[in-house]
Structure 1
Amino acid sequence: VACFLLLAIGILFTLPYYITVSYLGEVDHGAILCGYCGLLLMSAAYIAIGLFASSLTGNQIVAFLVSLVIGGLFFWIFRFIGSYGSGFFASVFTYLDFFGHYESIVRGVLDSKDLVFFLSVTALALLLAELQIARRG
């Protein structure tokens, strides 16, 4: 929770840009607010993945590298495999792609499948971290 609140406070510091731009001209308020929502959802998933990676090892550098690899899988590799593949596995990798879900939210479409995806990844990573920590103790 502390990581997420720290990140949310950091994102709050970008609100003056939004206020300034909306004062100077016409903006799509829905798309911007959905973008903030998508950023918070994707960030929560990455934080949970980082916590899971941290629970796997006692070394901070190794935890960073593991979370970087897992995050890279969800953001770049799954998109690449899904776009060049075909069939069932390509559709699975396309669905697991973070960027596709985030891109959908940023366009101003707050679809329930994107919300469920990010919340499910977050919950699953937190559950795996809890199980890993319980197994250690």
Structure 2
Amino acid sequence: MSRSRTAALVTWTYAAMFGVPAVPVAIFLAENGRLPSLWGMFDMYAGLWSTQLAQDRVIALLLAYAGLVLAAVWSGWLLWQMRKGGAVLNLGLLPLEAVFWIGFALPIPWLFGIARVALVALAWPELSGSRRQATATTPDAARPSS
């Protein structure tokens, strides 16, 4: 499997683990007035924002985070298609995502972020080279043989 596709899989795994749950957590918060706990160990998405901001703002931030992660999912699809724009988008979203990781006190996404940076960096030559190889081979194929 290509490094680009591995980066896409890592991005999608992160999205499934942290982006998708943000929506049910927002619904739970709206219905119950508190954050749900994860197996009774700690409250989910509980960070500075949940203690310092009003409930409606925390709900809005959870939904904004889910939307941001949806953009990361799209970048993963572009990476899967071996498009350089997917790599640029994937890396460009990380600083915005990091703001949410800090605000919601999410420690594990940092590991996914590091993995995404490393995999996209390793995939960069194949993403850059695929277009150069395609254009480089096209004129040669059109030349008559000597």
TM-score range, shorter chain: 0.3 to 0.5
- Compare the two structures and name the one with the higher helix fraction: 1
Larger Rg: 2
What TM-score results when the alignment is normalised by the length of structure 1? 0.34
